[in-house]
Amino acid sequence: MHAVVIHEFGGPQVLRPGSFPDPTDRAGWVTVDLKASALNWHDVLVRQGRYRSPLPHVIGADGAGVRRDTGEPVLIVPSLNWGARDEAPGPGWEILGDHIPGTYAELVSVPTECLAPKPAGFSWAQAAALPLVGLTTYRALFTRGRLRAGESMLVVGAGGGIATMAVQLASRAGAAISVTSSSPDKIAQARGEGAGGGVLHTDPDWPEQARQMSPSGAGFDLILDPVGRWPESVRVLRPGGRLVVLGANAAETAPMDVRAFYFGQYDLLGTTMGNVRDFTGLVDLIAEHRVPPPVIDRVFPLDEAAQAHEHLESTRGFGKTVLEHT
């Protein structure tokens, strides 16, 4: 089959169009003819060799297409082998594209439980953009973060896929949302998706500015930090508030004032992409609150995956970057 194949780890230039073996048939798995796939920051880490993937390899977690066995339009839920406990994944859990060939290809094979119907009214690009970012965001906000209608929330780093999806889901679930960003344009775009306002986290005093945007200036009930700004983010919580962390792009270590943390009665919650049960909750939320499709920033042909990765890593976009399969 035609695919984008990596033969070595490295920068975007290692993503090259080529040939890769077709998926093999096995019990309980289904082959999907892919129409589109979507980029995630996780793909960058796999491409760099962080997950010790086999070589040659096809990366990519998100995709949408047509089941070969039934002809049904579906999207891929890329959470494999989660395990029995909802609280955390088991030792066999992985994301599609880590070690099993992923979605930057004509075909992909996944367990039957990892398929969901393509949402009505979604384009192929929108359907492909939903699974990983939607599942990750839903778990962060509702399964782990326990977000409720009427609460206040700050999303750190507006513009990325998770931050944008968080604004869409939380605002339509009845929460009051504010954001931070490095760009005034991205704050304006976040307002268009449901945020009430935002501050520039390039300003040294952005935590104080953000706190002034919270109810009565007392701090936010929940902060979603997908970039790794813990020491600053925690300063914007109300006493007893919850900080959900699911990324480390800005920093992989975080010095904390431990005394202030425990006197503040804060909750620090780590999270990752969720499981198929979380995805069911996401689909129900989308239907109940008429959540619009994911925001698409740019669409590239499959063979231009390297250019798509360069665009993703530039952080200039707002929303999801998608590969179109022709």
SS3 322: strand
Give the pLDDT band (50/70/90) at residue 62.
very high
pLDDT of the residue at 318: 83
pLDDT at 82 over 80: yes
Domain count across the chain: 2
Cα–Cα distance, 181 to 170 (Å, whole number):
18
- Strand, coil or helix: 80: strand
Clarify whether residues 126 and 142 are in a common domain: no
288, part of any domain: no
Both 7 and 28 in one domain: the answer is yes
- Domain assignment present for residue 281? The answer is no
Which residues fall within 8 angstroms of residue 256, CB to CB, at 6 or more apart? 230, 231, 234
| Cβ atoms 169, 293 nearer than 8 A | no
User: Within this chain, do residues 148 and 206 fall inside the same structural domain, yes or no?
Assistant: yes
Assign 273 a pLDDT band (cuts: 50, 70, 90): very high
Q: Which amino acid is at 285?
A: L
- List, for residues 193-224, the tens digit of each pLDDT value: 899 999 999 999 999 999 999 999 999 999 99
What is the percent of the chain with per-residue pLDDT over 70, rounded to a whole number? 100
Q: Do residues 301 and 323 make contact, with C-beta atoms less than 8 angstroms apart?
A: yes
In a domain, 282, yes or no: no
What token pair was written down for 233? 């983010």
The CATH code of the domain that includes 320 is: 3.90.180.10
Residues 23 and 100 in one domain: yes
Report the distance separating Cα 29 and Cα 127, nearest Å. Answer: 20
247 and 122 share one domain: no
Give yes or no: residues 108 and 181 share one domain: no
Report if residue 279 sits inside a domain. Answer: no
| 302 in the same domain as 208 | no
- CA 38/CA 45 separation, integer angstroms: 15
Q: Are residues 81 and 110 in the same domain?
A: yes
Beta strand 176-181 with 107-111: parallel, antiparallel or unpaired?
A: unpaired
161 and 236 belong to one structural domain: yes
Q: Is the pLDDT of residue 249 over 80?
A: no
Indicate the pairing of strand 2-5 with strand 16-19: antiparallel
The answer to whether residue 45 sits within a structural domain is yes
* Same-domain check for residues 221 and 297: no
Residue 207, in any domain of the structure: yes
**Is residue 200 in some structural domain?**
yes
The parent domain of residue 105 ranges over: 2-130+293-324
Average pLDDT over residues 299-319: 94
In Å, the largest CA–CA distance within the chain is 59
**Structure tokens that stand for 185 in this block:** 């344009």
The predicted pLDDT at position 319 comes to 87
Average pLDDT over residues 154-168: 89
**32, 107 Cβ separation under 8 angstroms:** yes
Q: Both 83 and 19 in a single domain?
A: yes
Range in 108-122, 212-226, 245-259, 300-314 the model is least confident about: 245-259
Same domain, 14 and 43: yes
Residue 287 forms part of a structural domain:
no
Q: What is the mean pLDDT of residues 11-23?
A: 98
84-141 per-position pLDDT tens digit: 899 999 999 999 999 999 999 999 999 999 999 999 899 999 999 999 999 999 999 9
Q: Which residues lie below 8 Å from residue 59, measured CB to CB, with a gap of 6+? A: 4, 6, 15, 43, 46, 47, 53, 97, 102, 104
**Interatomic CA distance for residues 47 and 102, integer angstroms:** 12
- Looking up tokens 């605002």 gives 171
| Residues recorded for the chain | 326
pTM of the predicted model over 0.85 = yes
